[in-house]
């Protein structure tokens, strides 16, 4: 059952996504970037394009798959833009004696077919 709609994203989501618009040459790429990012930030337990498309109203698996695998956009340009944005925001700006550490190892993996979903140690949970 589809549980999420694009309008359910926080108010700043669209504004933040617009900062990446010029990295993509086509409107369809901009739309699928928002769909993919929204899916990654959403509440689905599994963060893959199959689950994102199943759980989000108006998102097509085939369009999202094409965006990730075939569409001509540069991941390095997206990452460079991300770093530029982080460096102008007060909370994430790079400065002396500051480190921003993002650790996803405490996120419980699920499934059996994706790399990295086998036995894992999660210190926060204390499980293997």
**Mean pLDDT of all residues belonging to the chain:** 81
Is residue 31 assigned to a domain?
yes
| Three-state SS at 4 | strand
CB atoms within 10 A of CB 13: 16
Give the Cα separation of 119 and 128 in Å (integer).
Answer: 6
Is residue 83 assigned to a domain?
yes
pLDDT of residue 120: 60
State CA 69 to chain mean position distance: 15
Give the Cα separation of 51 and 68 in Å (integer).
Answer: 14
Is residue 124 assigned to a domain?
no
Residues of the domain holding 45 = 6-88
pLDDT at 113 > cutoff 90:
no
CB atoms within 10 A of CB 37: 17
Q: Taking residues 101-125, what's their average pLDDT?
A: 61
pLDDT of residue 89: 80
Q: Taking residues 56-75, what's their average pLDDT?
A: 93
Is residue 41 assigned to a domain?
yes
Is residue 73 assigned to a domain?
yes
Token pair, residue 55, equals 């759980």
Is residue 104 assigned to a domain?
no
Q: How many domains is the chain built from?
A: 1
């Amino acid at each position: 059952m589809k549980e999420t709609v694009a309008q359910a994203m926080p108010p700043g989501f669209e504004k933040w996504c617009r900062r990446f618009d010029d990295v993509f040459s086509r409107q369809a790429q901009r739309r699928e970037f928002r769909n993919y990012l929204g899916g990654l930030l959403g509440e689905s337990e599994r963060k893959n394009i199959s689950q994102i498309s199943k759980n989000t109203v108006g998102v097509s698996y085939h369009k999202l798959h094409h965006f990730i695998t075939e569409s001509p956009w540069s991941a390095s340009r997206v990452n460079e833009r991300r770093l530029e944005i982080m460096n102008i925001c007060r909370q994430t700006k790079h400065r002396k004696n500051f480190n921003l550490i993002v650790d996803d190892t405490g996120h419980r993996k699920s499934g059996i077919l994706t790399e990295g979903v086998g036995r894992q140690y999660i210190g926060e949970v204390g499980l293997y």
